[in-house]
Amino acid sequence: MIKITLPDSSVKEFPDPVTSLEIAQSISPRLAKEVLSATVDGETWDLTRKITKDATVKLNTWDDREGKETFWHSSAHLMAEAIEFFYPGTKFGIGPTVDTGFYYDIDLPDGQQIAEKDLQEIEKKMLELARQKNDIVRKEISKGNAMEMFTQKNDELKQELISELEDGTITLYNQGNFTDLCRGPHLPNTGYIKAIKLTFIAGAYWRGNENNKMLTRIYGVTFPKQKMLEEYLIMLEEAKKRDHRKIGKEMELFTFSEAVGQGLPLWLPKGAQLRMQLEDFLKKVQKMYGYDQVITPHIGDVKLYKTSGHYEKYGKDSFQPITTPAEGEEYLLKPMNCPHHCEIYKAKPHSYKDLPLRMAEFGTVYRYEQSGELHGLTRVRGFTQDDAHIFCRPDQLKDEFKKVIDIIFIIFKALSFDDYTAQISLRDPENPAKYIGSAENWDKAEKAIIEACEEKGLNTTTEKGEAAFYGPKLDFMIKDALGRSWQLGTIQVDYNLPERFNLEYIGADDNRHRPVMIHRAPFGSMERFVAVLIEHTAGKFPLWLAPEQAVVLPISEKYNEYAQKVSNILNNSDIRTVVDDRNEKIGRKIRDNELKRIPYLLIVGEKEKDEETVSVRRQGEGDIGLQQIGEFARFVADEVKGQLSGLYN
């Protein structure tokens, strides 16, 4: 018999061997129908893979990330089988899962192409294959046999992947007439897949290298129920309306220029105002919590990032070093702010009485992303982090960590991010080479995060292998208005960079000690945060944040002067106001400014001029009546105060 420990800490005994599917059946027939994969001792397995020793097992359904990944991974293979049916001789690159489904990179034979109109036929074939309920079978073979197999298929893409694997056992998966090189895991059979939508086609360089061949990338999404697909397609249509690139253009927030370079956003005046409002808000909160602002350069000596370990881990994802012509010095566009902050800490000696030391910076950093991976503001090459680093004594660590959680809660409340989960990201004990530092320090850091979350009463999930290379972290996953998940806000505990930079403080015992470092970024990056915020609100920002809070619309040129007077009074009352004095009919002005999502539209004509009033329209609500200018100013101030009340207590 073997002992299986379940997530609720209960232990069940089973004959050796046992499969995860059999474990699910022993718990509930309904669960056995819903389970898609299992996490066995921290590794995701096929349900039919045999467990031969005592293990900790978590059964994954559609509600779990691992369950969706297994489902979509199998769907990628199903799509590949359908493509091979229509296009024999196709070479298959990689077919991973993504946040909203899967894709497969393929090399079609003889210059053939797949167009959007062809996707429907492939979908039909996938459904036909799924209904056959073919078993998806895992098979282990040697590296040599795998290479021979894909050489016979004349698939040099798979041959390249196999050549880079270590000698030993390699896994293949087969269903019906299709066999693929794959680590898995997969569904037990294709019948689990009930609803299919292939979403779009793109080009992608093999392995993301622009010097390699351009392949065809086909994206898709699948579900275990047709109703779920129908709901998803409705959400997709709404997502198109909320696309931050579309709304950003309509609201004149940001733009991109080929002359400047790909992935380098240009913030227009209204977008810059939006960013400044967010920055000012966070600065005010940080001041309450004892942070000092710092500023660091956009470049640094390569040696700085070698000391921190970032160059070794992320050097290939950074822009290549800049070499000075005279001295031959090597500088790097700053990929991270933390090494610079470590050097600020070292600028003078510190006593235990000086700690905690909290330094914050809206620091712009640069990462080289492949052009095919760039996407609006969510994936860029230059972005600004709302970064801060706290240097504290070990006995202060937990309290400082909890204070950062409080800051994140303030931000979520101010912006109506009400649906979120907190994920504790730990190291993968099976892969220590991914991380720097001693196991002892990692144990202390992980323990501090877990205890802090318990003391704050957070509902958390735990993911092994998702830690940063220098320390464990707490990530906040929010759901937007469409139910999509985004990672916003991160807090990381780091015992390792203080050692690498030889950071010290003099303790009460007059001896030298190492501080602990907390990395935190509640927004994450200003670019990505603004993109998520646009899509969450559909561009209808809360009044306190709106780059333009009111627009004055004169009904004819006769009232332009009065409109400007109103604007001046309101701007002097700290209400961000503009005038639309175009020679257009008032109906057109209203429609255009509704599209710009300006919260208040103030219409002025003869009556308003004579009575020194404004006719007020609220975005999306219509006319709310006449108000004196001063009355409207107080009305707006009270609304802003109400939105922010209680946040700074």
Residue 337: which H helix or E strand, with range? none
Active site residue 64: no
Output the DSSP codes for 478-540: EE-TTS-EEEEEEEEEESHHHHHTT--EE-TTSSEEPPEEEEEESSS-HHHHHHHHHHHHTT-
How crowded is residue 585: how many other Cβ atoms within 10 Å of its Cβ? 11
Q: Which candidate in 473, 589, 597, 617 is catalytic?
A: 473
- List for the chain the helix, strand, coil content (%; round to 5): 40, 30, 30
CA distance 399 to 391: 13
Q: Which candidate in 159, 175, 286, 385 is catalytic?
A: 385
Q: Residue 571 corresponds to which tokens in the numbers above? A: 């701007």
519 is in an annotated binding site: yes
Q: Which candidate in 519, 520, 528, 597 is catalytic?
A: 519
Q: Residue 141 corresponds to which tokens in the numbers above? A: 């073979």
Q: Which candidate in 275, 358, 389, 597 is catalytic?
A: 389
Active site residue 576: no
Q: 527 and 507 in contact (C-beta within 8 Å)?
A: no
Q: 38 and 5 in contact (C-beta within 8 Å)?
A: no
Task: Tell me the CB-side half-sphere exposure of residue 560, using CA atoms within 13 A.
Answer: 8
Among candidate residues 581, 580, 549, 570, the one with its CA nearest the CA of residue 613: 570
Q: 204 and 105 in contact (C-beta within 8 Å)?
A: yes
- Crossing angle, helix 397-414 and helix 269-288, to 10 degrees? 140
Q: Residue 624 corresponds to which tokens in the numbers above? A: 């709310």
Output phi, psi for 518, to 5 deg.
-110, 125
Among candidate residues 41, 9, 45, 8, the one with its CA nearest the CA of residue 22: 45
Angle at 366 between CA 364 and CA 370, to 5 degrees: 145
73 is in an annotated binding site: no
Active site residue 182: no
Among candidate residues 57, 49, 60, 58, the one with its CA nearest the CA of residue 17: 49
Which amino acid is present at 113?
Answer: Q
What 3-state class would DSSP assign to 565? helix
What 3-state class would DSSP assign to 183? coil
Q: Which candidate in 64, 182, 338, 475 is catalytic?
A: 338
CA distance 422 to 153: 46
298 is in an annotated binding site: no
Q: Which candidate in 367, 393, 528, 536 is catalytic?
A: 367
Active site residue 338: yes
Strands, E assignment, 316-415: 322-323, 330-333, 357-366, 382-392
Q: 331 and 319 in contact (C-beta within 8 Å)?
A: no
Q: Which candidate in 64, 105, 387, 480 is catalytic?
A: 387
Among candidate residues 289, 277, 518, the one with its CA nearest the CA of residue 414: 277
Active site residue 596: no
Q: 35 and 20 in contact (C-beta within 8 Å)?
A: yes
Q: 605 and 547 in contact (C-beta within 8 Å)?
A: no
**End-to-end alpha carbon distance in the chain:** 58
Fill in the DSSP letter of residue 359. Answer: E
Return all residues near 304 (Cβ < 8 A) that are at least 6 apart.
Answer: 332, 339, 340, 343
Active site residue 392: no
Q: 497 and 513 in contact (C-beta within 8 Å)?
A: no
Fill in the DSSP letter of residue 131. Answer: H
Active site residue 342: no
Binding site, by residue number, is: 338, 389, 519
Binding site for Zn(2+), by residue number, is: 338, 389, 519
Residues recognised as catalytic: 338, 367, 385, 387, 389, 473, 519
